[in-house]
Amino acid sequence: MASSTSLEDDLNADERLRTAKRRFDRLDRVIADWMERLGIPTLRVGLGIVFIWFGGLKVVGGSPAAELVGATVYVVDPALFVPILGVWEVLIGLCLLYRPLIRLGILLLFLQMPGTFLPIVLLPEVVFVTFPFELTVEGQYIIKNLVIIGAALVVGGTVRRQPQESDGRTRASVDARPRQDGEGAEASRRESPESGGTGSRTADAGDPETEERDR
């Protein structure tokens, strides 16, 4: 009796575990689908906001990076170059926010990015506390651009997609595929000689034996 009760308890525990796994799998799938659907739009808008914000600060003279930019591009008057760079960054942000201009925004971004790493070569004492691992605040500000480059690559990879696409295929095309396959099969049956369709009638129209049988 005790053995039977113990076996029943084990079965109940296994069933509860399987139920919990199924529920977790459903929840995990819902969350993953939600993140997939919102991930790229959020990334694109976030990039746009960052560039508009940081660029706007350079235009109005409120950017903490202005001194670093001026020291790096010392051949040009910082009072002229920093606002121009700010306008450039604002344009990048605006292009990223407006889907038809994403290509232009990505182009402007990748033209600007090499310049952001110049302090590593020209001003290593500003970038590093201890070369090559211990970074200053300015160095961290520069290295974080690697994340921006990665994000730009992801956003740039979506430029040939339709706006409603989230995973490279529109929901409408996925839903329509079975209907298209069914229509193709129906067309094949109409054209198949075995089905007595138009293909069979067309072939029989020029056959003398068939015409003799019909008469």
Helical pair 198-205 and 171-191, crossing angle rounded to 10 deg:
30
Average pLDDT of the chain is 82
pLDDT on residue 1: 52
Give yes or no for residue 176 having a pLDDT over 50: no
Q: What is the mean pLDDT of residues 100-114?
A: 96
| Distance in angstroms (rounded) separating the CA atoms of residues 6 and 12 | 10
pLDDT on residue 142: 96
Residue 177 or 27, more confident: 27
Give yes or no for residue 214 having a pLDDT over 90: no
What are the angstrom distances between the C-alpha of 54 and each of 69, 106, 184?
13, 17, 55
pLDDT digits (tens, 9 = 90+) for 111-133: 999 999 999 999 999 999 999 88
pLDDT digits (tens, 9 = 90+) for 129-154: 999 889 999 999 999 999 999 999 99
pLDDT on residue 4: 67
pLDDT on residue 110: 97
- Torsion, Cα of 16, 19, 23, 29 (10° steps): 130
DSSP string across the chain: -HHHHHHHHHHHHHHHHHHHHHHHHHHHHHHHHHHHHHHHHHHHHHHHHHHHHHHHHHHHT--TTHHHHHHHSTTS-HHHHHHHHHHHHHHHHHHHHSGGGHHHHHHHHHHHHHHHTHHHHH-HHHHEEETTTEE-HHHHHHHTHHHHHHHHHHHHTTTTS-TT-SSSS-HHHHHHHHHHHHHHHHHHHHH-GGGT-HHHHHHHHT-HHHHHHH-
pTM listed for this prediction: 0.70
pLDDT digits (tens, 9 = 90+) for 68-93: 999 999 899 999 999 999 999 999 99
